[in-house]
Structure 1
């Protein structure tokens, strides 16, 4: 009887839906898809972009690269394995080892000599799932993610109360007096968000009074929590003190402006199991603790943190046939944090370069100059992999024709920066002018500018050594809030058409740089003056941090 009733109800729903679709104006075919609303996603004004061709390319190799990259692309197949099967690639982790070994196997299959080039050590880490449950004053699951390099709980559930460092603990002496009372408990280390609503919703619906109150209260609460952690020695030093006191674990949060999205980082300095807690759940635990309602949770972190072990970069190269001591470099960092799959930071940048190298090997196997691809390790800890490569390979620095780097999300490359090099704009204009308009119509070529110093991404390391590193900028797709270091940085965020475009563009630019009859001149624009009117000096080029023990991250 229950089954028959269910079938009758299902049939009624289906008939109702069919009737609704048959009504005039209901279920009609959608109209034409409209262009994107972001101006940066539209084609450039050709009057300001003389490099956009009005005729097909005349270079046969360029045409072959375009066809290989756009019609026979392998990039999404490579992406699926990297991001779904291997996943995030935290420096020192067993996942990073798997990713590097997989890349060596790919290069071997494509006939490209490759190696792992060790340069230092970092903590070993085996990623694992994290689970948490509120046990009192009510029962519910909690959304948690293990922070990178967090110790695990040895495969066991651990239970304890949730506490905060008291508001009046603001000095090291007060922290030392308080911390023994946290033994056998979990400590909230970050201020929660008072509201996990999107800023856009607050702007749309919130009164001025509501928004002012939330801003003021959030600022005060965050400042208070920061002071309490500073009393414990700061975010790094506090971990050892928590461990010595017998604390069960540390609870953190880093809201990324949208419900369900948190930024997940981590530090080798973590000494107790440390998890990122979802915004709503962190607020719940805070309110329960602040109101003396005795929250108790249980936690299991199935991760393992180990001692420092060797780490390195994955380097592959196709030797130049006539100018083997001059170099074109494809650059991207291969490491990631652990919240998602490291898809757009920087899976897409790495995939762009990997696919570009595959295309070049297929279409242009005997380059004029040596073509190197560097998949850097430990970018997230201070550009360490690329700094180490620059330090270990002065011959590449001195012989570099051009380096191309990509590291800001899944979107189509829409800008290229010549940096501080006087002649880079002319060289790039000439290169772009040989490429199909299907690719160049999206690109805005920037202006030269003084060099502010290494930071942000890897090409700046090489620019610091006055080698021509070229940064490529991509459409953001709300990268900063949606995917950058978040628990939602996953395969589905990749835009296949954009990634094919990017890999094909880089392959063609690498070909142009390799074949160029002119060696790139390294004249630099003036650095300008400091505030006191004296000439601003060229920035210092710090070396890599080669041990986790020496890191301040």
Structure 2
């Protein structure tokens, strides 16, 4: 009996040891199987093009406070509810409600020509028949008094306020086609022109966005700018700060035409028509969707992408691509991972473009969620595939992110560069709102696809710029990383790095500069 009992205990111990040894292998196999299911579902049943068409082509640009932004919020909630999530539009403030109408810019003298241009967001509307006036170009100033003297000459005029570049060709085109001597000469002249213009602007005491206020106070009746990206046909479209007079952006090619005419003393005339509408104020929202965790419902993995955009185009790569990436990731996970251990929370934020307002408000309003967030995945830089993940200043971020990345398909994993522990963000995109509260949040950075010069806040940020195979890859990556973060046994470390000494010898502190702006009036 004693020998048999000892044998029995020995066999139990051996079985337990074998079980413990095999558990990690089984766990890894389960993860590999889930990754395979995610990839298969993404490739077989992608809904990305459907989502993109509905959001980008049908709803269009999503300026904070606009009726189109409200349509987008409602669209998000409808789609997440259809996926089986609990979705809601959560108000956090209010904003000036402005709706774009038709814009028309016409040169009426010395000849008739339709110009490529559009009213800037929040610009005052024109009268029904528009405004027609002589166009003058802002000269170079040598002093503040020089600027003040010039202001006395612009009453009743439409003012060109932007620098007219020496060439409408890109630097790459110059480098490719010019002689070495010609290219060097061009770069020297270009640098000299910019230096003189910046010096002149310093005497105005304004930026190109605030200068129209000074001009309207001096009696100007309209302002035209051209914020060129250094690529033909592409300009940046932001907002107008004027209170009474319309502000338009005109393409460089037509802007240069007007500018040269003023230099030659022609005195061109232009008609501006901007049929925008002021709609008072409207509530601002975050669209929130939750899939409750089955084991740890009070712990969260957050999928983050801002819903708003500027409205010079349709906001395709900034940031509809981020929105549909997260929506597709959730669709995939609902299909293959119905027993998510932690709550998956999607935040499609409002008013990111005015200073990360929606995401900052969410963190401020939900300390009960913030304290139990596992990680935040944020995507907000165009259509390109994810190739960089930084540690956002969290000391132990390499321990879990590096481990999770190893489960990505090899062709995805091999491209991703990581930088740990990295530095905490002071702005830029919505993950910074979480990082500043000590929450592990990470920007998923993408390949460029000329994002900075072609689509970022420009008149060309449209559906046709989307590379769907790369967005699909991003949805797969987000789905896998979300699954792994949900499965992690415990909440990850929030230990922060000790920041370096600054140039003045002082200890750098963790950033806390972000605070939500809840109205357009503060």
Same fold (TM over 0.5): yes
Deviation digits for residues 63-90 of structure 1, max 9, x if unmatched? 2222221211101110112111111111
Deviation digits for residues 175-223 of structure 1, max 9, x if unmatched? 3x65465343311122222211111222330343343223313432353
1:15 matched residue in structure 2: none
Contact kept, 8 Å, 1:184 with 1:247, in 2: the verdict is yes
> Structure 1 residues 518, 274: CA separation in 2 closer, same or farther (over 3 Å shift)?
same
Alignment of 1:209 onto 2:181: no
* Residue 294 of structure 1, CA deviation: 1.0
Contact kept, 8 Å, 1:327 with 1:400, in 2: the verdict is yes
Residue in structure 2 matching 1:372, options 341, 345, 349: 345
Decide which moves more: 464-473 or 362-371.
362-371
Residue in structure 2 matching 1:362, options 335, 341, 364: 335
Residue in structure 1 matching 2:120, options 131, 147, 156: 147
> Structure 1 residues 56, 256: CA separation in 2 closer, same or farther (over 3 Å shift)?
farther
1:287 and 1:237 mapped to 2: Cα distance?
24
Decide which moves more: 367-376 or 127-136.
127-136
Residue in structure 2 matching 1:223, options 199, 202, 218: 199
Contact kept, 8 Å, 2:94 with 2:520, in 1: the verdict is yes
> Structure 1 residues 412, 237: CA separation in 2 closer, same or farther (over 3 Å shift)?
closer
1:98 matched residue in structure 2: 71
Q: Which runs of 5+ in 1 are unaligned?
A: 1-54
* Residue 305 of structure 1, CA deviation: 3.3
1:409 matched residue in structure 2: 382
2:519 and 2:241 mapped to 1: Cα distance?
10
Q: 1:345-494 to 2 correspondence within 5 Å?
A: 345-451=318-424, 453-494=425-466
1:157 matched residue in structure 2: 130
> Structure 1 residues 286, 69: CA separation in 2 closer, same or farther (over 3 Å shift)?
same
> Structure 1 residues 421, 375: CA separation in 2 closer, same or farther (over 3 Å shift)?
same
Contact kept, 8 Å, 1:92 with 1:125, in 2: the verdict is yes
Residue in structure 1 matching 2:53, options 72, 75, 80: 80
> Structure 1 residues 155, 113: CA separation in 2 closer, same or farther (over 3 Å shift)?
farther
Q: 1:492-511 to 2 correspondence within 5 Å?
A: 492-511=464-483
1:215 and 1:202 mapped to 2: Cα distance?
15
2:161 matched residue in structure 1: 189
Q: Secondary structure at the match of 1:488?
A: coil
Q: 1:210-289 to 2 correspondence within 5 Å?
A: 210-224=186-200, 226-227=201-202, 229-230=204-205, 234-235=207-208, 238-244=211-217, 247-267=220-240, 269=242, 271-289=244-262
Decide which moves more: 356-365 or 295-304.
356-365
Contact kept, 8 Å, 1:461 with 1:541, in 2: the verdict is no
> Structure 1 residues 369, 268: CA separation in 2 closer, same or farther (over 3 Å shift)?
farther
Structure 2-normalised TM-score?
Answer: 0.88
Deviation digits for residues 301-345 of structure 1, max 9, x if unmatched? 122234332211111111122211111000011111112211111
Contact kept, 8 Å, 2:262 with 2:268, in 1: the verdict is yes
* Residue 259 of structure 1, CA deviation: 0.7
1:107 matched residue in structure 2: 80
Q: Secondary structure at the match of 1:476?
A: coil
Contact kept, 8 Å, 1:131 with 1:299, in 2: the verdict is yes
Contact kept, 8 Å, 2:62 with 2:310, in 1: the verdict is yes
Contact kept, 8 Å, 1:202 with 1:211, in 2: the verdict is no
> Structure 1 residues 468, 269: CA separation in 2 closer, same or farther (over 3 Å shift)?
farther
Contact kept, 8 Å, 1:149 with 1:270, in 2: the verdict is no
Contact kept, 8 Å, 1:189 with 1:252, in 2: the verdict is yes
2:190 and 2:214 mapped to 1: Cα distance?
33
Residue in structure 2 matching 1:132, options 88, 102, 105: 105
1:521 matched residue in structure 2: 493
2:466 and 2:269 mapped to 1: Cα distance?
39
2:144 and 2:473 mapped to 1: Cα distance?
55
How many residue pairs end up in the alignment? 491
> Structure 1 residues 454, 218: CA separation in 2 closer, same or farther (over 3 Å shift)?
closer
2:17 matched residue in structure 1: none
1:396 and 1:110 mapped to 2: Cα distance?
22
Alignment of 1:322 onto 2:298: no
2:233 and 2:227 mapped to 1: Cα distance?
11
Structure 1-normalised TM-score?
Answer: 0.83
* Residue 531 of structure 1, CA deviation: 3.0
2:89 matched residue in structure 1: 116
Decide which moves more: 277-286 or 532-541.
532-541
> Structure 1 residues 470, 210: CA separation in 2 closer, same or farther (over 3 Å shift)?
closer
